Amino acid sequence: MENAIDAHSSQIHIEIERGGSALIRIIDDGDGINKEDLALAVTRHATSKIKTLSELEQIISLGFRGEALASISAVSRLSIKSKEAEQEQAWMINTGTESDFANYSADPEPVAHPQGTTIEVRDLFFNTPARRKFMRTIKTEFKHIDDIVKRIALSQFDITFKLTHNKKLLRNLPKAVTEKAISQRISKLFSPEFLCNANKVDFISDHFSNMGQIRLWGWVSAPQWNRKQSDWQYFYVNGRYIKDKLVNHALRQAYQELLPEDTFSAYLLYLEIDPQQVDVNVHPTKHEVRFRQTRLVHDFIYSGIKQALFPQSSAFEIASESMNDSVDQSAALSTHDEHYINRYRQTNSNQHAADYYQPKMHSSLNQNQVAEQLNGLTQLYRSASHHLTEKTEHEQATKSPAINTSKELFFGVSLGCLIPNYLMSQAVPADEDTQVFIIHLARAQQFLLSQLFQMGQKTPLLIPETINLSSQQIELLLEHQSELERWGLDISQLGTDTLMVRKMPFLCNIPGCKINLSPFVHSIAQNIKLKNAINDAVMLEILLNSIISDVLNASEQARLLQMLSEQIYLYGVESAALLKPVIWKILDESSLDKLLA
């Protein structure tokens, strides 16, 4: 696929059989391979991508090593058909009958074929049966192939991709050249909800000398839309998908203190940089790169993400300061950053993959240029620091005065859970004796949800849940689907008696609060059957009655008490004390004495 992209293909068709073990066929309409190069294409270490030594320092093609076709031909029956636009005849080679696969020398044969190339791999590992034992199931092997197609399709929007498995078309991705078409491809391959919950990134700088223009563009998820896994993180450098420690660190640092613990952001990002500034030949799978100026690239990515996460601010000014200004680099960098850059300097000094640079590379930086780069680096940090300071001051100035945060929490501090559904806490009011509260967890969560619930907010399920219902119940629910979506319930029919739930009502981040989904949906269906309508008051009652409480750890207990105290103050302590059913009871010393008498 990378070779097809390098050949300027506009269409790439991938055909797979039995997870790739029986057949892998890739058809493109690119430039093609001429007759003289066909036999060379499957010999060891032969490449048409690099013609001079200097091109090693600025690799712009996706494929360049000249190892893949030779390795594949050694363990499979490989055939290549190709035709250049200038050639009248297409030609083919077939390594399936060769004994020395990697030193193929047979003459190409004429064949009928349109412009472009077809590469066919049959009977993978037919001559190395021990390798077959390490292959996974057909489903797993095909998933790996699908993941690769997905990664490439998300970086090559101007190419049409088709993927078939066992003659069944599974991916059909038309060329995407408009913003709408690109959004549709991302929704198909990445996530339908991602773009709706993502901030656009478009950050450009041409300030740093000797680096040219750098651009970071794409999308990053808003902090409140996070995931439990890091599987929705895609980063490309000049169109190449990579997983790089420096990039990951910059992104983690940008999201620092914005994400809940043990959660991950989602992003689809593209870095465009001068090829001379990045070495892509440092890892066998080409998934890692090394930047010549690692710190500057790191901070450029960090600043671009920070700007996207706070779009209400103006763009960061990355302008050079006067050469006479003194630069205090240690003030611009935190202790953590110093540790980071020192670690990377040490790592880079111990890596030998880029040794070929050393004899050829002579620094053209003079002292003024070095000072300019340090000024630029400092400016990045000053802009980010200034912006965050302004944001904090603005939030403090505009914070709602409805709740006096200095007031003691009404329920005090948690003493732990007695029985799964009860929480004990203790408060010491300034002018009263110590009070001990016993709080009914489920009722407390229901009260909070009744106060905080907002229509239209949804919680996407990582794995959709299925519920068994009668066909009549499913029909009733689907008839009122638009009304149910107002309550955050996204449903679809999976079978004659199976309903799939993709999203559920948002429970306002109430600790330990969950929906018992099956009774919830059954109750809605029953109510619709009786009333032939959805009443908001009844729906809220059904939702509240479907709440179940999960086990709370210490931090969740404290957060629940804080949320409950805030809502009690807003609702009114006296009014809340009269609620039925009762949410809490106070145990003072006399009541405890009576209890133990």
Tens digits of per-residue pLDDT, 529-547?
888 888 888 888 999 999 9
| pLDDT for position 303 | 86
Question: Quick check: is 359 in a domain?
Answer: no
Query: Which CATH number goes with the domain that contains 275?
Result: 3.30.230.10
C-alpha–C-alpha distance, residues 556 and 566, integer Å? 15
Number of structural domains the chain divides into: 3
Is pLDDT at 1 greater than 90 in this prediction? yes
> Among the listed ranges 89-103, 201-215, 246-260, 489-503, which one has the minimum average pLDDT value?
89-103
Greater confidence (292 vs 354) lies with 292
Per-residue 3-state assignment (H helix, E strand, C coil) for 380-428: HHHHHHHHHHHHHHHHHHHCCCCCCCCCCCCCCEEEEECCCCEEEEEEC
| pLDDT for position 156 | 95
> Which residues 6+ apart lie within 8 Å of 29 measured at CB?
9, 10, 11, 114, 115, 116
Q: Is 561 in the same domain as 487?
A: yes
Res. 145 pLDDT band, cuts 50 70 90: very high
Q: Which single residue is written with the structure tokens 């980071």?
A: 340
Q: Is 311 in the same domain as 447?
A: no
Sign of dihedral through CA atoms 116, 122, 124, 125?
A: negative
Q: Is 519 in the same domain as 387?
A: no
Q: Is 176 in the same domain as 228?
A: no
What are the tokens at 220?
């990053």
C-alpha–C-alpha distance, residues 45 and 264, integer Å? 40
Question: Kind of pairing, strands 278-279 and 267-272?
Answer: unpaired
Tens digits of per-residue pLDDT, 410-462?
888 888 887 778 999 888 765 566 788 899 999 999 999 999 988 888 888 76
Of 136, 271, 258, which is closest to residue 202 (Cα–Cα)? 271
Stretch 499-522: mean pLDDT, rounded? Answer: 90
Chosen domain end from 129, 162, 180: 180
Q: What is the mean pLDDT of the chain?
A: 80
Of 186, 187, 158, 120, which is closest to residue 11 (Cα–Cα)? 158
Instruction: Report in angstroms the alpha-carbon separations of 18 from 25, 29, 166, 562.
Output: 12, 25, 7, 56
- Long-range contacts (CB closer than 8 Å, 24 or more residues apart) made by 82-86: 82/32, 82/33, 82/34, 82/38, 82/113, 82/116, 82/117, 82/118, 83/32, 83/113, 83/114, 83/115, 83/116, 83/117, 84/31, 84/32, 84/33, 84/34, 84/115, 85/31, 85/32, 85/115
Q: Is 341 in the same domain as 481?
A: no
Greater confidence (219 vs 52) lies with 219
| pLDDT for position 349 | 37
Q: Is 103 in the same domain as 215?
A: no
Query: Which CATH number goes with the domain that contains 115?
Result: 3.30.565.10
Q: Is 374 in the same domain as 487?
A: no
Is pLDDT at 332 greater than 60 in this prediction? no
Stretch 465-481: mean pLDDT, rounded? Answer: 88
Question: Quick check: is 326 in a domain?
Answer: yes
Question: Quick check: is 153 in a domain?
Answer: yes
Question: Quick check: is 255 in a domain?
Answer: yes
Instruction: Report in angstroms the alpha-carbon separations of 178 from 174, 191, 256.
Output: 11, 19, 34
Q: Is 65 in the same domain as 174?
A: yes
Of 280, 24, 1, 20, which is closest to residue 149 (Cα–Cα)? 1
Q: How far does CA 288 lie from the centroid of its chain? A: 18
Identity of the amino acid at 265: S
Q: Is 530 exposed, middle or buried, given 0-12, 13-18 or 19+ CB atoms closer than 10 A?
A: exposed
C-alpha–C-alpha distance, residues 407 and 22, integer Å? 71
Res. 99 pLDDT band, cuts 50 70 90: very low
Q: Is 454 in the same domain as 383?
A: no
Is pLDDT at 257 greater than 80 in this prediction? no
Cis omega (within 30 of 0) for bond into 581: yes
Q: Is 327 in the same domain as 419?
A: no
Greater confidence (36 vs 377) lies with 36
Query: Which CATH number goes with the domain that contains 433?
Result: 3.30.1370.100
Tens digits of per-residue pLDDT, 161-198?
999 999 999 999 999 999 999 999 999 998 788 999 99
Chosen domain end from 156, 180, 204: 180
Is pLDDT at 357 greater than 50 in this prediction? no
Chosen domain end from 161, 180, 199: 180
Sign of dihedral through CA atoms 478, 481, 485, 486?
A: negative
| pLDDT for position 49 | 84
Question: Quick check: is 582 in a domain?
Answer: no
Question: Quick check: is 585 in a domain?
Answer: no
Question: Quick check: is 534 in a domain?
Answer: yes
> Which residues 6+ apart lie within 8 Å of 154 measured at CB?
185, 186, 189, 190, 234, 236, 268
What is the Cβ-side half-sphere exposure of residue 98, based on CA atoms within 13 angstroms?
22
Res. 366 pLDDT band, cuts 50 70 90: very low
Q: Is 445 in the same domain as 317?
A: no
Q: Quick one: angle between helices 335-350 and 294-309, nearest 10? A: 140
Q: Is 118 exposed, middle or buried, given 0-12, 13-18 or 19+ CB atoms closer than 10 A?
A: buried
Q: Is 145 in the same domain as 210?
A: no
Greater confidence (386 vs 277) lies with 277
- Domain that includes residue 497, residue range: 414-577
Question: Quick check: is 586 in a domain?
Answer: no
For the question of whether the overall pTM of this predicted structure is more than 0.85, the answer is no
